[in-house]
Amino acid sequence: MVQFTLPKNSKVTKGKAWNPPSKDAEAGRWREYRIYRFDPETGENPRVDTYWVDMKDCGPMVLDALIWIKNKIDPTLTFRRSCREGVCGSCSMNIAGTNTLACTMHADDAPSSVIAVYPLPHMPVVKDLVPDMTRFYAQHRSIEPWLKTDSPTPQKEWRQSHEDREKLDGLYECILCACCSTACPSYWWNGDRYLGPAVLLQAQRWVEDSRDERTGERLDDLEDPFRLYRCHTILNCTKACPKGLNPAKAIASLKAKMVERT
Ligand code: SF4
Ligand code: SF4
Ligand code: FES
């Protein structure tokens, strides 16, 4: 995938104001959105465009507003979305200063009546609200997120006790939205070498799986000053997770496993 980055010395400028309501508009009916816009192909600096959304004509979630804007005002506005149910992880972005999912964030939960929408922070931007996730996915692949075994494959299925299955709760639900990793200062500064909370939570998911037979190999792979140990327990990741998961706890468990085996 082509890597797009912001132009050198770029600064975000005030952009166009679209669809302002008339002066005698019904109070509270229109909600103002200020949305980051950037198209690397134009060579122009990023800008913030302002849109007013008719809340009587639009669903309650921030994603509804983005779709409304795209359909009714500005078809060039670009963002990712798929499930609209908080399960695919594709609509993650920074809304009102917080990394979250646009489809599960109610517009009324924004702390201000004006809602600012930016792409996930500290990622290269492909266009508008679409970050380039290439490195994030490569890091996920690097932990080999699949069952690895040496025993002969059973005829029916790999079995697991209820107790062992429960150990995966809080890990398997991750939707790889990257809200946590892009809220982590260590990942901002060392994202080329530090795996970040999302990928480490996934690593812990496979280390914890009683059916997996390569735990030692998985831990060896994480034994590195950057891949795991750049976590300084700042906990931004746990605060950011829109699924209520605790990546910082998963990282602490990985570190504990490293100590246990020495
Ligand atoms: S706890 Fe670790 S992974 Fe989470 S935000 Fe802090 S440094 Fe990043
Ligand atoms: S741990 Fe939470 S915030 Fe991080 S990628 Fe998974 S679902 Fe998203
Ligand atoms: S559209 Fe799938 S998580 Fe929001």
Question: Given this model, what pLDDT does residue 176 score?
Answer: 98
The answer, yes or no, to whether any atom of ligand 1 lies below 6 A from the CB of 233, is: yes
Q: What CATH number does the domain containing 207 carry?
A: 1.10.1060.10
pLDDT more than 70, % of the chain: 96
Q: What mean pLDDT do residues 56-79 have?
A: 97
β-sheet bridge partners, residue 131:
125
**With bands split at pLDDT 50, 70 and 90, how would you rate the model's confidence at 9?**
low
Q: Which amino acid is at 206?
A: W
Assigned token pair, 160: 């697991």
How many structural domains are present in the chain?
2
Q: Are residues 154 and 94 in the same domain?
A: no
Is residue 169 a part of any domain in this protein? Answer: yes
Q: What mean pLDDT do residues 55-69 have?
A: 97
Nearest-atom index, ligand 3, CA of 88: 2
**With bands split at pLDDT 50, 70 and 90, how would you rate the model's confidence at 5?**
low
| Contact present, 131 and 124 (Cβ < 8 Å) | yes
Distance, CA of 206 to CA of 95 (rounded, Å): 31
| Average model confidence (pLDDT) across the chain | 94
Q: Are residues 41 and 159 in the same domain?
A: no
Q: Are residues 140 and 126 in the same domain?
A: no
Distance, CA of 97 to CA of 237 (rounded, Å): 14
Domain interval for residue 167: 134-260
Euclidean distance between the first and final Cα of the chain, in Å? Answer: 41
The answer, yes or no, to whether any atom of ligand 3 lies below 6 A from the CB of 105, is: no
For residue range 175-221, list pLDDT tens digits in order: 999 999 999 999 999 999 999 999 999 999 999 999 999 999 999 99
**With bands split at pLDDT 50, 70 and 90, how would you rate the model's confidence at 2?**
very low
Is residue 4 a part of any domain in this protein? Answer: no
